[in-house]
Copies of this chain bind each other. A is one copy, B any other.
C-alpha cells in the first residue's frame, strides 16, 4: 500500500495523522471498541500490568506474525512456523542442557536453523514451482517429526539463568519479549515502507508477472521473505523455550492459524500486495486481548470459543462497514 503518511512529507497535524493511521489500519477501530468494552466489563483490564501482560502473551505469536506479513504480502503462506518454533526450541534447549553449548550457541544456532528452514521453504517453492501451501505442509510434518527425534520424545528442561532472560527478563518495567516483538514490528515496518526490498515485496505480491518484467528478481525476494519468517519463527521458539524453561515437543502446534489470522485480521490481503505490519500488530493484539478479556471475565470455556469466533467476525465486518461509510 502506498504510504501517504511518509511520502507526502507535508506537515500533518496530529489529529490528521491519527485519521490517516486509522484508515491504514482498518481494524484499529474494532480493536479500540473491543478494548473499551472489556475495560467497562472488568476494570482490571486497563491495569498497566495487564496491558504489559497481554502484549507479552501476544509476543510469541506476534513475532512470527511479523514475518508472516512478508510472506502473505507476497501472496504466499507458511504452515511450518509452529514446527519451526518447536524444532528451534528443542535445539536451543539441547544446547543449553545436553550438548553443553554456550548461551551464544544456544541462541545463534537455532536462529540460523530457523532461517535455514525458511530458506528451504522458499527455495523449494520458487525453484520447484510449487505452491508454498504444499511445501510448508510438508516441512511442517518433517520438522515436527525431527523435533521428537532430536528430543527422543521427551521435553528438555533446565535452562541457564541468562538464557531465561530472553523470555522472562525485564528491561525496566517492560518484559524483554515485548521489546523483541515491538522491535521487530518497527524494523519490519521500516523495511516494508522505506527500502527497495519492501517495495518489491508489495510489487511482487501485487502482480508477479509485471514485477518480473520490470526486472525484479522475484525468486530472490520470495526466498528472502521466507527466510525472514523462518528466522522470526526461531526467535519465537527461543522466547517460548526460555519462558517455559523447557523445550517442549508440542510447542507451536496450531500456531500457523493464529499467526495467519493475526496477519489477515490486520488487513493484509491473502492475495498479496496489500497490507502492512502495523495491521498485523493490531490483529495479533486483538486476538490476545479477546482471550485475555474473556479470561478476566471468567467466561466459561465453551462460551469462550463461541464468543471469540463471533468477535473476530464482527471486528473485521466493522472494519469493512467503516470503509463503506467513508466512501459513500
Q: Tell me, in angstroms, the Cα distance from A270 to B153 when the chains sit together.
A: 35
Q: How far is the CB of A287 from chain B (nearest CB, A)?
A: 10
How far, in angstroms, from A320 to B131 measured CA to CA in the complex?
A: 11
**A252 → B minimal CB distance (Å):** 14
Q: How far is the CB of A117 from chain B (nearest CB, A)?
A: 12
Stretch at the interface among A31-39, A143-151, A198-206: A143-151
CB-CB under 8 A for A305 and B131, given A137-B312, A312-B138, A313-B124? no
Q: 23 A-B pairs, CB-CB below 8 angstroms?
A: A124-B313, A124-B317, A128-B317, A129-B320, A130-B316, A130-B317, A131-B270, A133-B264, A134-B261, A135-B313, A137-B257, A137-B312, A138-B313, A141-B305, A141-B309, A141-B312, A142-B309, A144-B305, A145-B304, A145-B309, A148-B305, A149-B302, A153-B302
- The 5 A-B residue pairs with the shortest CB-CB distance in the complex, in nearest-first order: A145-B305, A141-B309, A142-B309, A138-B313, A145-B306
Binary contact readout A229-255 vs B (1 if CB under 8 angstroms, 0 otherwise): 000000000000000000000000000
Q: Which residues of A does B touch, CB under 8 Å?
A: 79, 124, 128-131, 133-135, 137-146, 148-149, 153, 257, 260-261, 264-265, 269-270, 301-310, 312-313, 316-317, 320
Verify A303–B145 contact, CB threshold 8 A.
Answer: yes
Closest CB in chain B relative to A134 CB, distance in Å: 5
* Copies assembled: 2
| Among candidates B129, B307, B309, residue contacting A140 with C-beta atoms closer than 8 Å | B309
| Chain B residues positioned under 8 Å from A305 (CB to CB) | 141-142, 144-145, 148
Chain B residues closer than 8 Å to A309, beta-carbon distance = 137-143, 145
Contacts of A270 in B (CB 8 A): 131, 133
Specify the main secondary structure of chain A where it touches its partner: helix
A283 to chain B, nearest CB (A): 10
Chain B residues whose C-beta falls within 8 Å of the C-beta of A143 in the assembled complex: 309
Query: Whole-angstrom distance between the alpha carbons of A302 and B320 in the complex?
Result: 45
Question: Chain B: which residue is nearest A306 at the CB level?
Answer: B145
